[in-house]
């Protein structure tokens, strides 16, 4: 009797251990492999300093993997105390006060129109299925004061938002790229339908561009690149126009290898003109190939591999084009 019970005991332990292994295995199956397991410290610095002060991107690196799923339950806009309305579909959630209901429907239409365009230019659109279930959360505010109030709640910082029409807030962790929010400032963003489109598409370009980068390598992209491509994508078919004085300062100030050009317009409109020149000289398909290589290997190698030019040669050609094409 004693013997039988000890055999039963051994069997029980065996069965329990096997069950435990199955449970551990199943848990492991749910955990996605870390996407950015090996981000170099220089890239972490770049992510944390991106657009500090100047731009419309708030960016941070989180060393702790973000648990899945990444749905929108934790969005500030879901808190009933904010009093915000929601407009939700399969890809987006808009959060807005009732007074902006019409603008919310317009933004929803424009956001859907952006998808095929971003797929084409940026190379990929990031759907909720690419983001562990997270839809793109877009906040709309009626004026400067409410925009600043919202920003204080989403992203505490003493930053100045006086000239900010729209903003993108994102986080990069070992689990991947996470979009916290896009927010539009009604003080500027709703002045016309064309401008609403420009601001919204600009921020959505940031979302897809930064989600496309490979952070397991040394990334140090300059501002002209990420702001220039956002202007290029959000103003299809348009070219920036410069005065002779602007051209003079672009030629004097802008080194394509610098992190920032000195004046804001040089990064935005100047950056836009760099992509217009690229399309003119190397066709749209050349521009798209350049972007694809930039995500993986940075700008100097992308220029060399796609255009057989060093970054300095390309810079000289672009500056030459500023006078020739009269943008």
**Is 231 an interacting residue with respect to Zn ion (CB under 5 A)?**
no
State the sign of the Cα–Cα–Cα–Cα dihedral 94, 97, 101, 102.
negative
Residue 84 or 181 with smaller CB distance to Zn ion: 181
Q: Are strands 166-173 and 176-185 parallel, antiparallel or unpaired?
A: antiparallel
Q: Where are the alpha helices (DSSP H) in 62-192?
A: 101-121, 144-154, 186-189
- Provide, rounded to whole angstroms, the least separation between the CB of residue 262 and Zn ion: 17
Calculate the dihedral angle through the C-alpha atoms of 130, 131, 133, 136, rounding to the nearest 10 degrees.
-110
Is the Cβ of residue 68 or residue 155 nearer to Zn ion in the bound state? 155
Backbone angles phi, psi at 171, to 5 degrees: -135, 140
Among 47, 50, 56, 169, binds Zn ion (CB under 5 A): 56
CA angle 310, 311, 312 (to 5 degrees): 90
**Rounded least distance, CB 159 to Zn ion, Å:** 14
Would you say 84 or 229 has its CB closer to Zn ion?
229
Residue nearest to Zn ion (CB): 56
Which residues lie closer than 8 Å to 112 by C-beta, 6 or more apart? Answer: 91, 92
70 DSSP 8-state letter: -
Q: Which stretch binds Zn ion (CB under 5 A): 48-56, 141-149, 290-298, 299-307?
A: 48-56
- Give the 3-state secondary structure percentages of the chain, helix then strand then coil, rounded to 5: 55, 10, 30
Candidate ranges 4-12, 36-44, 170-178, 224-232; the one touching Zn ion (CB under 5 A): 224-232
Q: Using the rule CB under 5 A, give the single segment among 55-63, 64-72, 88-96, 125-133 that binds Zn ion.
A: 55-63
Binding residue for Zn ion, selected from 183, 230, 274, 322, defined by CB under 5 A: 230
Candidate segments 51-59, 69-77, 177-185, 208-216, binder of Zn ion by CB under 5 A: 51-59
Return residues touching Zn ion (CB under 5 A).
56, 227, 230
């Amino acid at each position: 009797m004693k013997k039988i019970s000890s055999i039963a005991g051994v069997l029980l332990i065996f069965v329990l251990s096997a069950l435990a292994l199955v449970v551990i295995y199943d848990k492991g199956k749910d955990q996605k492999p870390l996407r950015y397991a090996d981000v170099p410290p220089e890239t972490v610095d770049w992510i944390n300093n991106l657009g500090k002060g100047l731009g419309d991107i708030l960016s941070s690196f989180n060393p702790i993997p973000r648990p899945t799923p990444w749905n929108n339950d934790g969005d500030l806009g879901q808190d009933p105390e904010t009093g915000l309305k929601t407009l939700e579909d399969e890809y987006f959630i808009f959060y807005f006060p009732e007074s902006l209901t019409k603008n919310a429907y317009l933004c929803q239409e424009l956001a859907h129109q952006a998808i095929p365009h971003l797929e084409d230019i940026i190379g990929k659109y990031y759907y909720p299925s690419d983001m562990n279930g997270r839809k793109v959360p877009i906040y709309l505010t009626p004026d400067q004061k409410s925009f600043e109030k919202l920003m204080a709640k989403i992203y505490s910082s003493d930053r100045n938002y006086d000239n900010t029409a729209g903003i993108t807030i994102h986080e990069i962790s070992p689990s991947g790229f996470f979009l916290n929010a896009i927010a539009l400032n009604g003080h500027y963003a709703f002045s016309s339908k064309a401008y609403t489109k420009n601001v919204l598409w600009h921020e959505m370009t940031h979302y897809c561009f930064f989600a496309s980068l490979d952070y397991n390598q040394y990334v140090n992209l300059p501002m002209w690149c990420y702001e220039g491509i956002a202007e290029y994508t959000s103003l299809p078919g348009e070219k920036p126009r410069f005065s002779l004085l602007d051209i003079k300062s672009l030629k004097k100030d802008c080194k394509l290898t610098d992190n920032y050009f000195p004046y804001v317009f040089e990064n935005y409109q100047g950056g836009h003109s760099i992509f217009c020149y690229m399309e003119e000289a190397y066709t749209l398909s050349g521009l798209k190939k350049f972007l694809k290589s930039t995500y993986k290997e940075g700008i100097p190698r992308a220029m060399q591999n796609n255009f057989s030019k060093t970054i300095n040669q390309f810079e000289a050609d672009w500056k030459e084009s500023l006078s020739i094409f009269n943008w």
